[in-house]
């Protein structure tokens, strides 16, 4: 019987989920809107996992790896996710109780860096840095093939480095002038709305801004 596992990326805007073999073959993926209520979030994730497994009745699911946008301790506890409005959450416990599966948790950018080292652009490298740009800005650090998480699980969290770009803009973490207030997708949109033609547009995406920059408009 083929053994499979879930990879779950919990973002501030969407949750992305994939069912993969132990060799890294992607069998199915789903994406759905994030719920900021903790109970609703994990109810939704568990329901989607059950739905996906229903498509592969002859496969054995051996566990799930979950990436969250915040510092993680003991491969299970997240101590605050600014873009989700979470405080301390036992992610492994919440999802494990709903699915009956063993669950391990890490910072999303660190896991993205590990994924690139395993199957992506960093294949063959033992030392690399990865930056993520989405609702926030994250960073993953790999040294000697191992994640550098720091003593409090926040290693690589470059999004909360203070900058001088917009020191009056408040970050979701409560501080002002963090890098992600300007450099994240949401920060790029906020900055672009100060200028034409974006301040007249009802809906603006970060892609719109990049496309306009490429076009020189």
pLDDT tens by residue, 132-162: 888 889 899 999 999 998 888 888 889 999 9
Q: With respect to residue 143, please indicate whether it lies within any of the assigned structural domains.
A: no
Exposed, middle or buried by CB within 10 Å (0-12, 13-18, 19+), for 216? exposed
Handedness of CA 184, 117, 99, 154 (dihedral sign): negative
- Contact, 82 vs 36, CB < 8 A? no
Q: With respect to residue 138, please indicate whether it lies within any of the assigned structural domains.
A: no
Q: With respect to residue 102, please indicate whether it lies within any of the assigned structural domains.
A: yes
Give φ, ψ of 205 to 5 degrees: -115, 165
Quote the number of domains for the chain: 1
Q: With respect to residue 189, please indicate whether it lies within any of the assigned structural domains.
A: no
pLDDT of residue 152: 82
Rounded Cα–Cα distance for residues 176 and 181 (Å):
8
Range of the domain at 7: 3-114
pLDDT of residue 217: 78
Q: With respect to residue 103, please indicate whether it lies within any of the assigned structural domains.
A: yes
Nearest residue to 64 via CA among 100, 117, 37: 100
pLDDT of residue 55: 96
pLDDT of residue 155: 84
pTM: 0.83
Rounded Cα–Cα distance for residues 176 and 162 (Å):
8
pLDDT of residue 169: 94
Positions in the chain whose pLDDT score sits under 50: none
Q: With respect to residue 29, please indicate whether it lies within any of the assigned structural domains.
A: yes
Rounded Cα–Cα distance for residues 91 and 94 (Å):
5
Sorted by sequence, the CB contacts under 8 Å of residue 9 that are 6+ apart come out as 15, 16, 17, 67, 108, 111
CATH classification at residue 24: 3.30.420.40
Q: With respect to residue 210, please indicate whether it lies within any of the assigned structural domains.
A: no
Q: With respect to residue 127, please indicate whether it lies within any of the assigned structural domains.
A: no
pLDDT of residue 37: 92
């Amino acid at each position: 019987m083929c053994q499979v596992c879930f990879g779950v990326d919990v973002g501030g805007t969407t949750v992305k989920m994939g069912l993969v073999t132990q060799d890294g073959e992607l069998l199915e993926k789903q994406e759905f809107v994030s719920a900021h209520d903790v109970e609703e979030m994990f109810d939704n994730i568990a329901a989607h996992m059950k739905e996906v497994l229903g498509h592969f009745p002859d496969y054995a699911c051996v566990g799930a790896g979950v990436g969250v946008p915040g510092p993680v301790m003991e491969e299970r506890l997240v101590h605050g996710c600014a873009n989700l409005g979470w405080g301390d959450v036992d992610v492994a416990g919440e999802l494990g109780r709903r699915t009956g599966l063993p669950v391990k948790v890490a910072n999303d950018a660190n896991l993205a860096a590990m994924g690139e080292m395993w199957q992506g652009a960093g294949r063959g490298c033992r030392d690399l840095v990865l930056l993520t740009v989405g609702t926030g800005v994250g960073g993953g650090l790999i040294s000697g093939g191992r994640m550098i998480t720091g003593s409090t699980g926040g290693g690589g969290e470059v999004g909360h480095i203070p900058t001088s770009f917009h020191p009056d803009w408040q970050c979701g973490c409560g501080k002002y002038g963090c890098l992600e207030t300007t450099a994240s997708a949401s920060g790029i949109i906020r900055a672009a709305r100060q200028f034409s033609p974006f301040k007249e547009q009802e809906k603006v995406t970060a892609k719109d801004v990049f496309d306009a920059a490429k076009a020189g408009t």
